[in-house]
């Protein structure tokens, strides 16, 4: 079970908002709210003062609208051809950076003209200032902005970019990207085009680069209570985040494995003494990476860390609960198991898994599969 503390999301947005001052605050809820459940996160973020939401896919924006979520929703990339009608009908604000997409959106917005919305479709123009993922080249921005404002069906609501090195606070690349964005914005203003909301900062940008905050910050990972990088702690910027997600299971089986026996596929782990072993009914199909047991992964049972032993299998994993000789057994079937979260004075964080696996906390929470039910609650039990 994944328990998501929606009060923690609200708290995190409130505290990040304080950092962002009067700027717009965009809560990034793509990838099902980084695995936390997009609708519940969006609502909790709005309670904390988020004025915008952002998603990666048109389908993600439609899911929010169908759940009754109101307010501006930014689509972080261009909508794929064929999805423009959905964008207009659901009042999604797409990011654009190609003449083809601008033309398709304009045609859809003209055809679906809504008398209540004029112009019917707001877009944000993205400048590729150095991330080289998506975005128009700086030299193209003026012509593209002019082509947007020339359409009666479109309005230019913002100009934006994405930072490649924001999680390395003293790297000069961020300053260079912000300079290119600024030059693009100035070129529009000189040509009499209003750029609308100018935005660049993700969580790391919002925390570590005050000059990147501009008119709006787009925070993802930090609203979930995770630092943007192992070396970039929100606490060093006086922002106390609360992790919102706990990944909990329960012991399904307990037995003794004799000294000299080996365990799980490939028999990679040998017991040096008769040991209590607990089986937990979660595996790599649930989002516990198969490699975690071989890089020191552990769970919490009864307030103690219990190391994973043998390979994590698709649906189950095993943990060593210590040598036999203790009676009664140190764990019993049905006992709660914390995979991610706190128990007693111990805690296992997404960053702990990420550091062991040489990845980032984002990949850990996004990787908890849909097979694991999400339970949303205000606060913790």
Ligand X SMILES: Cc1ncc(COP(=O)(O)O)c(C=O)c1O
Which of 42, 76, 87, 241 binds ligand X (CB under 6 A)? It is 76
- Asked about 362 being catalytic, the answer comes back as no
Does 221 contact ligand X by CB under 6 A? yes
Instruction: Read off the tokens for 315.
Output: 């649906």
Cα distance between residue 254 and residue 267, in whole Å? 19
Q: Looking at 116-124, 202-210, 239-247, 274-282, which segment touches ligand X (CB under 6 A)?
A: 202-210
Could you count the other beta carbons within 10 Å of the beta carbon of residue 241? 22
Nearer to ligand X, 178 or 222 (CB): 222
| Binder among 40, 219, 308, 338 for ligand X (CB under 6 A) | 219
User: Using CB under 6 A, which residues numbered 143 to 172 contact ligand X?
Assistant: 162
Quote the CA–CA distance of 341 and 367 in Å, as a whole number.
16
Catalytic residue among 3, 30, 126, 284: 30
* Other CB atoms within 10 Å distance of the CB of residue 255: 11
CA distances from 207 to 100, 176, 334 (A): 35, 18, 42
The CA–CA distances, whole Å, from 83 to 33, 89, 162, 214, 259 equal 22, 10, 23, 30, 61
Closest CA to 90 of 55, 125, 43: 55
CB of 221 to ligand X, least distance (A): 4
102 versus 221: smaller Cβ distance to ligand X: 221
Q: Which range binds ligand X by CB under 6 A, 181-189, 216-224, 326-334, 363-371?
A: 216-224
Site for ligand X (CB under 6 A): which residue of 151, 202, 298, 343? 202
Total residues contacting ligand X by CB under 6 A comes to 12
Please say which residue, 220 or 283, places its beta carbon nearer to ligand X: 220
User: Is residue 177 classed as helix, strand or coil in its secondary structure?
Assistant: helix
Residue 232 lies near ligand X (rule: CB under 6 A): no
Which spans of this chain sit near ligand X (rule: CB under 6 A)?
28, 76, 162, 202-204, 218-222, 228
């Amino acid at each position: 079970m994944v328990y998501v503390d929606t009060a923690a999301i609200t708290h995190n947005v409130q505290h990040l908002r304080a950092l962002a001052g009067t700027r717009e605050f965009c809560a990034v809820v793509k990838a099902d709210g980084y695995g936390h459940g997009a609708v519940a996160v969006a609502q909790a973020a709005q309670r904390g003062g988020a004025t915008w939401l952002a998603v990666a896919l048109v389908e993600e924006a439609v899911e929010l609208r169908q759940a009754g979520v109101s307010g501006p929703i930014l689509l972080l990339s261009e909508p794929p051809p064929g999805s423009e009608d959905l964008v207009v009908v659901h009042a999604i604000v797409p990011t654009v950076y190609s003449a083809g997409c601008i033309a398709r959106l304009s045609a859809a917005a003209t055809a679906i003209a809504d008398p209540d919305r004029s112009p019917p479709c707001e877009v944000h123009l993205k400048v590729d200032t150095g991330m080289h993922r998506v975005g128009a080249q700086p030299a193209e921005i003026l012509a593209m902005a002019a082509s947007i404002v020339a359409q009666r069906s479109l309005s230019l609501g913002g100009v934006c970019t994405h930072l490649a090195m924001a999680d390395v606070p003293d790297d000069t690349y961020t300053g260079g990207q912000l300079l290119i964005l600024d030059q693009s914005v100035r070129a529009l203003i000189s040509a009499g085009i209003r750029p609308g909301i100018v935005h660049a900062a993700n969580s790391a940008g919002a925390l570590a680069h005050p000059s990147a905050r501009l008119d709006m910050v787009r925070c993802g990972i930090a609203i979930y209570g995770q630092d943007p990088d192992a070396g970039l702690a929100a606490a060093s910027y006086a922002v106390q985040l609360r992790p919102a997600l706990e990944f909990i299971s329960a012991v399904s089986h307990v037995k003794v494995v004799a000294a000299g026996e080996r365990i799980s596929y490939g028999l990679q782990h040998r017991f040096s003494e008769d040991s209590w072993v607990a089986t937990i009914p979660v595996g790599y199909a649930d989002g516990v990476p198969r490699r975690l047991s071989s890089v020191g992964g552990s769970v919490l049972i009864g307030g103690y860390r219990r190391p994973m032993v043998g390979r994590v299998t698709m649906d189950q994993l095993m943990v060593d609960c210590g040598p036999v000789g203790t009676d009664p057994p140190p764990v019993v079937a049905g006992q709660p198991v914390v995979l991610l979260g706190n128990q007693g004075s111990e805690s296992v964080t997404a960053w702990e898994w990420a550091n062991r696996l040489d990845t980032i906390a984002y990949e850990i929470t996004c990787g908890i599969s849909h097979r694991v039910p999400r339970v949303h609650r205000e606060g913790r039990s």
